[in-house]
Amino acid sequence: MHTGSADTEGQDEISPELAAALEPLRSDPAHAAILCDLDGTLAPIADRPEAAAVPDATREVLRALARRYALVAIVTGRRAAQAREMVGLDDLTYSGNHGFEVLPPGAGDPVPDPALNGHTEDVSRFVAGLDRAELERIGFRIEDKGAIFALHWRQAGNQGEAEARASEIESDAEWNGLVPRFGRKVLEIRPDVSIDKGIAVQSLLHDDRLSAALYGGDDRTDADAFRALHGLRDAGRLTAAVAVAVASEEAPPEVLTEADHLVEGTEGYLQVLQHLAS
């Protein structure tokens, strides 16, 4: 549960409570990790995912953080290579497809999680059975992310119709043994393997040298990461864990209630990163 209200838009500094929570990271960056969601956290949400962009100021502070902190990683629903292209920095770690693949700094190709063995085509076979013409008529855009498929309806003319059809597809996917997850005007369908952003966070923080970590996110999948971060703290693996939710009109309740602190929009989260870099 968050312990303070969101920093207000236009504020030049983060709240004193959040600054105090970040001090263990800031004072010992050689043993600290900064983990960030991408869309809605670093990059403002766009009508079309391919139109989203990381602002120059955010890219530059990430570059500075990568030089100073033990680990700076992007944990995203996008494919890892696509995320790296979007951020424009090779010296970060990219955990793509909610942890289904990891692209280490400077690596040419992402490394898939071994849990995917034998399940890479599960979702594609299900999506192939959907009525593409009907989905296009409603206004869905289908995104092929390899082992995961995403159905976006942000541009649908009738949002109610799109949401109702997405709920039907969610039920069908579950019936077929898959794992559907709703996000901000998107339904992602995943194979039934034990991977999510929480497990991705646990994997990224496996290094015993790391004693403090921040995770920032804005959507339902980021609540898994918040819970994992708190679990590592409660187990004594981390001495400091800070979960920051990026608040917006579309932010789901669970990501707000699972967070320790709230900031307002991507600009508010940029202030968090700038504080850590200062």
CA neighbours within 13 Å on the CB side: how many for 125?
A: 8
Other C-beta atoms within 10 Å of 124: how many?
A: 15
Assess whether 28 carries a catalytic annotation.
no
Q: How far apart are CA 67 and CA 9, in angstroms?
A: 29
Is 147 within 8 Å of 222 (Cβ atoms)? no
Q: How far apart are CA 12 and CA 38, in angstroms?
A: 22
Amino acid (1-letter code) at residue 240 = A
DSSP class of 142? E
Q: Which residue among the candidates 7, 12, 37, 144 is catalytic per the annotation?
A: 37
* Burial annotation 128-158 (CB, 10 A radius, 16+ → b, else e): eebeeeebeebbbbebebbbbbbbbbbebee
3-state secondary structure of 116: helix
Q: Is 198 left (phi over 0), alpha (psi -120 to 50) or beta?
A: alpha
Amino acid (1-letter code) at residue 156 = A
Q: Where in the sequence numbering do the catalytic residues fall?
A: 37
